[in-house]
């Protein structure tokens, strides 16, 4: 039989050949495969049954035209995607991203990550992801509505409460989810939990809005405890000012950290006295304006053009919560030189492989997104449970379950890392732990 290293090399070569021009997808797969060598050595049956070849190939990929009419009466056409990656442990589950940078490779990287992340939550959800190259920025509410209705007019055939359950992601928040859900209901006459991140008046869960950001901090707190540290008194820099960033900042502040910088895709603000989150929420959630407006409210703060500069701000904790590959090797080196002690990933794959190496070589505590941002999807699964039961839990109930799940994910990830000889390496721990459950379910279900 081929050595594990050879098996992995062959699978990776096939992924590159079969999916050309999809660098983010290659990056996500490579990181996981590289972690799996000792797993393959222990489990030759995974090789015999082609688990690796199958797990890197989505079960189904949908690409569709999304025509809509703008406020000037002109026809616009976007491209829609839904990648149903893996349903071994439950119905496909994963968000929709609306951003001009969206293409099939981005959706596949996110769907692949999602499969392992969902497995880590311990809940019965498979992996999927979708979206469009539509840019909600600068569009009127009616334009966004017409786009969402057109998008769902195609997607509704492929989703359902026990089939595939989308949610939000970049560019898809409460407004978009509402329009998408409304159109789904109109087309199917079904009132069921086909979406998560819904508004509270129509089946949403308390705590879902906060879940990814809060979950990241619960995970981080648990990790810091293992190193006799806490968040109290630490200075934090958080990139982004969307859903994940805002609630990561809120929980970080509640746990005693001082958040001094946040960003959007244009630039970042630095407020050494601590970011005033009420202002950020007003600017971003209500007015949908750029982050530089913050200075109009707090003139002592600084605004700098360019989002990458945020990593030059001195801090103890760096929490990337904006987008993929936002911390490169150069930024990682600057963070280390400035004394960062922990990096917690809130966004999906925000650190490049080179950046992760810099953190690991310098013994910086590092939480990989797959594990540390799983709180959002875990709470989505709790929303699905409530919808099925026709019940609504209180915020405190949901938050307690979220905390419990994040603590469990940290414990499991660090235990598995140790078991496989990578003590303290949560990247490997998360990849292996997430993979094992999916592989086990795939084995049990035969070659499908
Ligand atoms: P939002 O759309 O709410 O916010 C995204 C934020 O990131 C905005 O501040 C945006 O700035 C900024 N951003 C987006 N693209 C870029 C870019 N190319 N360069 C710099 N900044 C950028 O999205 P979310 O907060 O929901 O998602 C953020 C990250 O977290 C994504 O990686 C997502 O996949 C991940 N995630 C989200 C979950 C959730 O529950 N929402 C769950 C798990 C992961 P601007 O407004 O200028 O575009």
pLDDT by residue (tens digit) across 5-19? 999 999 999 999 999
Those residues whose C-beta lies under 8 Å from the C-beta of residue 436, and which sit 6 or more positions away, are 39, 416
Nearest-angstrom CA–CA distance, 349 and 102 = 15
Mean pLDDT along residues 302-325: 98
The CATH class, in words, for 60-191 is alpha beta
At residue 392, the pLDDT reads 97
Query: Of 113, 107, 159, 115, which is closest to residue 133 (Cα–Cα)?
Result: 107
Of the listed 108, 129, 139, 198, which one is catalytic? 129
At residue 1, the pLDDT reads 67
Mean pLDDT along residues 72-99: 98
Q: For the chain, where do the domains classified as CATH 1.10.285.10 start and end?
A: 1-57+426-448
At residue 345, the pLDDT reads 98
Those residues whose C-beta lies under 8 Å from the C-beta of residue 233, and which sit 6 or more positions away, are 256, 257, 258
Ligand 1 atom closest to 264 (CA) = 11
Look-up of token digits 């070589």: 361
For the chain, the helix, strand and coil percentages under 3-state DSSP, each to the nearest 5:
50, 15, 30
Q: Is the CB of 212 under 6 A from ligand 1?
A: yes
- Indicate if the pLDDT at residue 350 is higher than 80: yes
Question: Cα-flanking dihedrals φ and ψ of residue 83, to 5°?
Answer: -110, 115
What is the Å distance from ligand 1's center to 281 Cα? 15
How much is the mean pLDDT over the chain?
Answer: 97
Alpha carbon 309 to chain centroid distance? Answer: 22
Look-up of token digits 């998008």: 151
Nearest-angstrom CA–CA distance, 198 and 172 = 11
Q: For the chain, where do the domains classified as CATH 3.40.50.720 start and end?
A: 210-363
The share of the chain scoring above pLDDT 90, in percent, equals: 100
Q: Is the CB of 152 under 6 A from ligand 1?
A: no
- Indicate if the pLDDT at residue 28 is higher than 70: yes
Pairing of strands 317-320, 92-98: unpaired
Alpha carbon 354 to chain centroid distance? Answer: 20
Is 93 considered catalytic here? Answer: no
Ligand 1 atom closest to 307 (CA) = 20
**8-state DSSP, 284:** I
Q: Is the CB of 264 under 6 A from ligand 1?
A: yes
The share of the chain scoring above pLDDT 70, in percent, equals: 100
Q: Which of 242, 247, 369 to mutate to test the pocket of ligand 1 (most atoms within 8 A of CB)?
A: 242
Mean pLDDT along residues 14-31: 98
Mean pLDDT along residues 420-429: 98
The CATH class, in words, for 1-57+426-448 is mainly alpha
Give the H or E element holding residue 366.
strand 365-367
Neighbours of 365 (CB within 10 A): 19
Query: Of 64, 119, 83, which is closest to residue 435 (Cα–Cα)?
Result: 119
Nearest-angstrom CA–CA distance, 244 and 326 = 15
Structure tokens at 422: 């990578």
Beta strands in 126-205 (DSSP E): 127-132, 164-167
Q: For the chain, where do the domains classified as CATH 3.40.50.10860 start and end?
A: 60-191
To the question of domain 210-363 being in CATH 3.40.50.700, the answer is no
Helix axes 243-254, 208-226, angle to 10 degrees: 50
Q: Which of 106, 135, 172, 240 to mutate to test the pocket of ligand 1 (most atoms within 8 A of CB)?
A: 240
At residue 2, the pLDDT reads 82
């Amino acid at each position: 039989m081929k050595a594990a290293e050879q098996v992995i090399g062959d699978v990776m070569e096939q992924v590159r050949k079969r999916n050309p021009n999809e660098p983010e997808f290659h990056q996500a797969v490579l990181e996981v495969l590289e972690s799996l060598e000792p797993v393959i050595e222990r489990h030759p049956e995974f090789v015999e049954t082609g688990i690796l070849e199958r797990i890197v190939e989505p079960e189904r990929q949908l690409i569709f035209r999304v025509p809509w009419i703008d406020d000037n009466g002109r026809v616009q056409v976007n491209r829609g995607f839904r990648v149903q990656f893996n349903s071994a442990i439950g119905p496909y589950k994963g968000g929709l991203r609306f951003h001009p940078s969206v293409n099939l490779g981005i959706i596949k990287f996110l769907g692949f990550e999602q499969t392992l992340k969902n497995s880590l939550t311990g809940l019965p959800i498979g992996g999927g992801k979708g979206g469009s190259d539509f840019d909600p920025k600068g569009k009127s509410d009616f334009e966004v509505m017409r786009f969402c209705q057109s998008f769902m007019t195609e997607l509704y055939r492929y989703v359902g409460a026990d089939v595939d359950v989308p949610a939000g992601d970049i560019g898809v928040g409460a407004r978009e989810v509402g329009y998408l859900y409304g159109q789904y209901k109109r087309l199917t006459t079904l009132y069921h939990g086909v979406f998560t991140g819904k508004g509270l008046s129509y089946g949403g869960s308390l705590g879902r809005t906060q879940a990814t950001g809060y979950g990241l901090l619960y995970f981080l707190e648990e990790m810091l405890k293992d190193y006799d540290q806490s968040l109290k008194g630490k200075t934090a820099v958080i990139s982004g000012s969307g859903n994940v960033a805002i609630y990561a900042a809120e929980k970080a502040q509640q746990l005693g950290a001082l958040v001094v910088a946040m960003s959007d895709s244009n630039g970042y603000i630095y407020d050494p006295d601590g970011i005033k989150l009420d202002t950020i929420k007003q600017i971003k959630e209500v007015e949908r304006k750029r982050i530089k407006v913050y200075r109009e409210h707090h003139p002592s703060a600084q605004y700098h053009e360019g989002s990458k500069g945020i990593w030059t701000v001195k801090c103890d904790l760096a929490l990337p919560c904006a987008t993929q590959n936002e911390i490169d090797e150069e930024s990682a080196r600057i963070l280390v030189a400035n004394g960062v002690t922990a990096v917690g990933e809130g966004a999906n794959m925000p650190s490049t492989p080179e950046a992760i190496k810099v953190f690991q070589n310098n013994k910086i505590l590092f939480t990989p997104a797959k594990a540390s941002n799983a709180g959002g999807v875990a709470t989505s699964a709790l929303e699905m449970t409530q919808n099925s039961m026709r019940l609504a839990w209180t915020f405190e109930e949901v938050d307690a379950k979220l905390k419990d799940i994040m603590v469990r994910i940290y414990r499991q990830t660090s235990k598995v890392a140790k078991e496989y000889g990578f003590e303290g390496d949560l990247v490997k721990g998360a990849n292996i732990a997430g993979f094992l459950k999916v592989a086990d379910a795939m084995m049990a279900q035969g070659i499908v």
